[in-house]
Each structure stands twice: as structure tokens, then as C-alpha cells.
Structure 1
Amino acid sequence: MHIDAAASNTAPQDDRFVLRNGIRCAGTHLIIDLYGARKLDDIDHIETVLRDCVTASGATLLHIHLHHFEPNGGVSGVAVLAESHISIHSWPENRYAALDVFMCGAAEPEACIPVLREAFKPTRIAVSEILRGQGV
């Protein structure tokens, strides 16, 4: 059964789209590169950091899955969120990590940046922002 929200007395369901910088979009996707970072081979530390990012951003954690690679000790994984995800891929031998932080709704992905800075102590952070789903 299809109900036309305009024809009914009820409000349409929240589609979790957001208004960012005056643009309606599905969410904000941050591409984050950490250079000169520490503890990128410590899977327990990385899990704690992902949980701290979820809390700081106001997101809702559904599941975390991390994989520890040998022999370099790199970690790849994802925190699956009701609002989307946070992923990490680390190369501890190069002191480099690549993260994606994609969130919709009221979550604040940029709140992850200070958490990452404190947890991994990088010498440099590069952040690119993409507004996903513009014009939908």
C-alpha cells in the first residue's frame, strides 16, 4: 500500500538527509589521511578509538569488525553505524592510516577528527569532505 504524504495528515518519515552548507544531501563523507601516526598496529587501541569516534559524533554503533594483518601488523576494519560507517586501513610500517567517516542524520562526522588526532598523534592530518547524494 502506498500513501502519498502530501495527501495524508501524517508527516513523511525522516529520510535522514541533512542540510550541510545550504545543500541537501544524504550525508557527509570525510576522507581522512593520518601521516606519522602511532599505534596503527594495536587492534585493541583501534577498536577503542572507533568507539570513541562513534560517541563523539553522536552516531549509533551497530557492529565493529577489525582484521589484523601479518606480518606488518596493519589493521583494516569498519564500524557499521545506523548513520553509515567509519572504516580504517592502516600501514604501521609507513605510519599511515586511511579512514572514511560517512554519516547521515544528526551525527557529526567532523567530531571524529579531534579523537583521531589525540589517539594516533599524527604529524599531519589531511581531510577531504564529500557531500553524498546531492540533488536526490
Structure 2
Amino acid sequence: MTALGHHLLAEFTGCDATALADLQLVTDAMLRAAEASGARVVTHSFHHFSPYGVSGAVIIAESHLAIHTWPEHRFAAVDFFTCGQVDMERGLAMLKQALGAEGETRLALERGPLKPITV
């Protein structure tokens, strides 16, 4: 069976700490990243934690785009999962720029079905 979806985990380092702590900026950047990728936004939800960080997700027709930020570490973890024709590269490049990230590490996975672990 071929993969049902593609899952991209990205870690952004050296980000602008002020941007990572700004609920509206993170929300807007995530929505723009989803749209830039060609995804169809269904809904979204974001939350600012006190004193640090923002977490949230954009639900797209093709699956989801999620983020967790740590301004005190200038770090953001991003999770982009799609089972459709979405340009994740374009969306993540836009998000990286919006957060002022200096570095990026990625892990790409193909999803469905995973192989079971035998004990």
C-alpha cells in the first residue's frame, strides 16, 4: 500500500522571541502558511500560555498544521500533516520567515499504515 499521507515535523531555532509570544502574530502566520501551501482552511484554534508561549492548530481539509512555541528558548515545533496536494515546503518557508527563525531541522514521515511492532 502506498502512503495515505505525509507528515512533516519541523523545528525552528533562533526565532524572534517576541514573535513567538505574540498570539495574533502566530495565528496570522499559521493561517498564511496554510493558505500559501494551497491548503483549504476549515477552522483554527490558538492559545497563549502565561507567561510564555503559544500553541495552536489550523485544521485544513487535507489534515492539520500545528505549532507550539517556547519564546524563552527562541524555539518553535511545527507539525504539518497532509493527505492531499499541499505544498508544505512553501507553507513552512513562509512560517519560518514570519517567526524570524535562523535555523530549521525537519523529519519527514509517510503515514498509513504503520508497521506494527512485534514483541
- TM-score using structure 1 length: 0.77
Aligned to 1:85: 64
Aligned positions, number:
112
Runs (4 or more) in structure 1 with deviation over 2 Å come to none
Larger RCO, structure (CA 8 Å, separation 6 or more): 2
Counterpart of 1:67, as a letter, is H
Q: Which residue of 2 aligns with 1:105?
A: 84
RMSD between superposed Cα atoms in Å: 1.5
Identity of aligned residues (%): 35
Say which SS state the counterpart of residue 8 (structure 2) adopts: strand
- 2:109 alignment counterpart: 130
- Structure showing greater radius of gyration is 1
Confirm whether residue 25 of structure 1 aligns to residue 10 of structure 2: no
Report the CA distance between 1:24 and its aligned residue. Answer: 2.5
Q: Distance in 2 between matches of 1:66 and 1:117?
A: 18
- Unaligned residue ranges in structure 2 (runs of 5+): 115-119
1:67 aligns with 2:67: no
Partner SS, residue 25 of structure 1: coil
Unmatched runs of 5 consecutive residues or more in structure 1: 1-22
Q: Does 1:41 align with 2:21?
A: yes
Structure 1 distance, partners of 2:15, 2:47, is: 19
Equivalents in 2 of 1:89, 1:117: separation in Å? 13
Question: Which is richer in helix?
Answer: 2
Once residues 125 and 116 of structure 1 are traced to their aligned partners in structure 2, the CA distance between those partners, rounded to angstroms, is 11
Q: Say which of 33, 37, 42 aligns to 1:57.
A: 37
